[in-house]
Amino acid sequence: MIFPTPLIEGRLVRRYKRFLSDVELADGSVVTAHCANPGSMLGLTTPGSEVWLSPAANPARRLRYSWELIRVGDHLVGINTGHPNRLVAEAIAAGAIAPLSGYRTLRREVKYGRNSRIDMLLEDEGRPPCYVEVKNVHLRRTDAAEFPDSVTARGTKHLAEMAEMVATGARAVMVYLVQRGDCESFRIADDIDPTYAAALMRARAAGVETLCYRCEIRHDGIDVAGPLALAL
């Protein structure tokens, strides 16, 4: 995924009201940027951090910028949760996620379960349908990437519904996409959301598969780079 226009560098002033962030630009002006991330963003909101913004394609949009990247140590981290579905879809189409390759069609946002939509539905003649749910990951507290960074009742609901799809004979796969490149493995943050951790154990026991891939983050774009080891 390539950013359509060059990103604008700034310094984070604060993140607030979940979806807002104030950023000081190089000329000293402070702008309010959309923060497309409903989580706690633990470890990613330190004032003074280098951040990068994308300008809005629609000049009439109320917020002219969106927060895309932050530097943590020597690494860039993607914070925009609107990107992972597109990144995974592109990687599947390119054959970069081997366990999900070979399907003829990929449909996005397909209704299933109880008033839910699956991120992707892979289909091919003669094969069970494959339900793919994608979760954005950017929490790192040791050398492992962790999910979630806050309680996610919605994520727990998705796990139960994916297990139900497996019971009907379908395939279901959880893909955790890590928008950073400085992690050696992936684990569940069971201290943050023990209910989600227990739900994932039940889902895996029911046949839901689990994959984790890391990203290569650059100032001009983001790509799925390769798998991370699971420490589940």
Q: How confident is the model at residue 60 (pLDDT cuts 50, 70, 90)?
A: confident
On whether both 100 and 214 belong to a single domain, the answer is yes
Q: What one-character DSSP code corresponds to residue 10?
A: E
Q: What is the pLDDT of residue 5?
A: 94
Residue 59 pLDDT greater than 90, yes or no: no
On whether both 68 and 183 belong to a single domain, the answer is no
175 lies in a domain? yes
Mean pLDDT over 209-228 rounds to 96
Residue 209 pLDDT greater than 90, yes or no: yes
For residue 144, the domain's CATH number is 3.40.1350.60
On whether both 101 and 168 belong to a single domain, the answer is yes
On whether both 107 and 198 belong to a single domain, the answer is yes
On whether both 54 and 100 belong to a single domain, the answer is no
On whether both 88 and 170 belong to a single domain, the answer is yes
To the nearest whole percent, how much of the chain has pLDDT over 70? 100
1 lies in a domain? no
The structure's pTM equals 0.94
On whether both 184 and 105 belong to a single domain, the answer is yes
Q: What is the pLDDT of residue 57?
A: 83
| Residue 215 near residue 78, CB atoms below 8 Å | yes
143 lies in a domain? yes
Main-chain phi, psi angles of 45, to 5 degrees? -130, 25
- Give 112-132 pLDDT, tens digit per residue: 877 889 999 999 999 999 999
Residue 74: which domain range? 8-78
Q: What is the pLDDT of residue 116?
A: 86
Which of 78, 94, 110 is a domain's end point? 78
On whether both 70 and 121 belong to a single domain, the answer is no
